[in-house]
């Protein structure tokens, strides 16, 4: 057990690391973060920031030597750096899970081998193979890079056969391996964040309903507006994944509730997740505290909800309107800003958790603020 007073190292200085450090400091842990950008969101609240590139082995070694336990806040950790961290410090999450979740092919193959439903998919290496895969999977289908994509980047929805040459040329240029998936016609996008500790204990937070705009998470609604049976199924899937993969820490499981009622897993993230920010005030334990408990071997905290909640993301274009209307925020709304200086359009700058007696009331409060329905962006 890593007890309070010990130092936790967070690889990556973004908002997820920041909120991890804020939760852990309350419990008495010390924090060191590594990030190339000075004054990073996590660096602002940690005891110390080491400024180095994520690929800098010397920086990684100094970082590892200064911590009792190491964790990360993004999954694209360089394999050599991960190995260096593992030889120099204690990395309870290991590098195996990173390897799986860094690559959609490995991720989907592994999930499929556990009997977890994923969208039917094919790996392709040429335009000819793409033609054949589309023939098998049918149209529409979704072509993705196996590595490096996020927020819908590195993706093409192929609706017509004549899009194939352009889609292949575009994504082939990235040099990444390519995958094509059947398009899942879904009612809702859901996610469940599960935790598994070094002792093997597992717990899952309540299922969340996610609304995306332009492939970026906009709102998380909890309780999700699904049946009890669907909620239970989603939570069971997340717990099964956490146990089958021997996760330590958190695993965020993004899923589709398909039109036919089936739950299909889309993607995993082995870390705190934007769709789990609702837990900060709406659950007995936040996802950040849970992550720390899990990697430090403390008993996992209770996950039950204290209040219905809607989380709304504050992107760069929303910062000014939010600050202008700050006095109109309901007094049960909890504002979180990440300390980023550059308010770039579409950049995640913060979020607000709207707590209310029902999610409908929370949604109405958000609507009345007139911040998110109005912000038009010309890119």
CA angle 114, 129, 106 (to 5 degrees): 25
By beta-carbon proximity to ligand AMP, the closer residue of 73 and 254 is 254
By beta-carbon proximity to ligand AMP, the closer residue of 252 and 359 is 252
Q: Which of 30, 59, 37, 8 has the alpha carbon at shortest distance from 339?
A: 37
By beta-carbon proximity to ligand AMP, the closer residue of 34 and 180 is 180
Residue whose C-beta lies closest to ligand AMP:
184
By beta-carbon proximity to ligand AMP, the closer residue of 56 and 267 is 267
Q: Least distance (Å) from ligand AMP to the CB of residue 257?
A: 12
Q: Least distance (Å) from ligand AMP to the CB of residue 184?
A: 4
By beta-carbon proximity to ligand AMP, the closer residue of 88 and 163 is 163
Strands 30-34 and 7-11: parallel
Q: Least distance (Å) from ligand AMP to the CB of residue 256?
A: 7
Q: Least distance (Å) from ligand AMP to the CB of residue 108?
A: 10
Which residues of this protein are in contact with ligand AMP, per CB under 6 A?
119, 142, 149, 152, 181, 183-184, 189, 212, 215, 254, 266-267
Is the link from the previous residue into 140 a cis peptide, with omega within 30 of 0? yes
Using CA atoms, how far residue 37 sits from 41, 51, 53, 61, 233, in Å, is: 10, 7, 9, 18, 41
By beta-carbon proximity to ligand AMP, the closer residue of 156 and 288 is 156
Alpha helices in 69-199 (DSSP H): 79-88, 96-101, 104-113, 127-137, 164-172
Q: Which of 257, 221, 255, 223 has the alpha carbon at shortest distance from 240?
A: 255
Q: Least distance (Å) from ligand AMP to the CB of residue 133?
A: 13
Q: Least distance (Å) from ligand AMP to the CB of residue 75?
A: 13
CA dist., res. 334 & res. 155, Å (int): 34
């Amino acid at each position: 057990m890593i007890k309070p007073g010990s130092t936790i190292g967070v690889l990556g200085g973004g908002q997820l690391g920041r909120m991890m450090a804020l939760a852990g400091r309350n419990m008495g842990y010390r924090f060191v973060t590594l990030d190339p950008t000075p004054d990073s969101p996590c660096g602002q609240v940690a005891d110390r920031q080491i400024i180095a590139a994520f690929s800098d082995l010397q920086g990684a070694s100094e970082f590892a030597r200064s911590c009792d336990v190491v964790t990360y806040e993004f999954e694209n950790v360089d394999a050599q750096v991960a190995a260096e961290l593992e030889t120099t410090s204690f990395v309870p999450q290991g590098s195996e899970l990173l390897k799986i979740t860094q690559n959609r092919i490995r991720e989907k193959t592994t999930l499929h081998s556990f009997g977890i439903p994923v969208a039917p998919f094919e790996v392709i290496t040429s335009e000819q193979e793409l033609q054949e895969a589309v023939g098998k999977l049918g149209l529409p289908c979704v072509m993705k890079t196996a590595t490096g994509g996020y927020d819908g980047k590195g993706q093409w929805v192929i609706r017509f056969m004549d899009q194939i040459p352009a889609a292949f040329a575009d994504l082939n240029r990235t040099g990444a391996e390519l995958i094509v998936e059947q398009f899942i016609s879904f009612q809702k996008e859901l996610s469940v964040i599960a935790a598994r500790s070094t002792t093997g204990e597992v717990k899952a937070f309540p299922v969340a309903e996610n609304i995306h705009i332009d492939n970026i998470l906009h709102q998380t609604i909890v309780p999700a507006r699904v049946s009890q049976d669907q909620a239970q199924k989603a939570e069971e899937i997340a717990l099964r994944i956490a146990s089958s993969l021997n996760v330590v820490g958190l695993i965020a499981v993004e899923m589709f509730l398909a039109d036919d009622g089936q739950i299909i897993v889309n993607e995993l993230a082995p870390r705190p997740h934007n769709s789990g920010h609702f837990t900060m005030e709406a659950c007995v334990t936040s996802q950040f505290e849970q992550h720390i408990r899990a990697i430090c071997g403390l008993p996992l905290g209770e996950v039950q909800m204290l209040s219905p909640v809607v989380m709304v993301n504050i992107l760069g274009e929303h910062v000014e309107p939010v600050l202008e209307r700050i006095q109109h925020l309901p007094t049960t709304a909890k504002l979180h800003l990440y300390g980023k200086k550059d308010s770039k359009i579409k950049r995640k700058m913060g979020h607000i958790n709207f707590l209310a007696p029902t999610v409908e009331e929370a949604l109405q409060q958000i609507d009345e603020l007139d911040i998110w329905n109005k912000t038009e962006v010309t890119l």
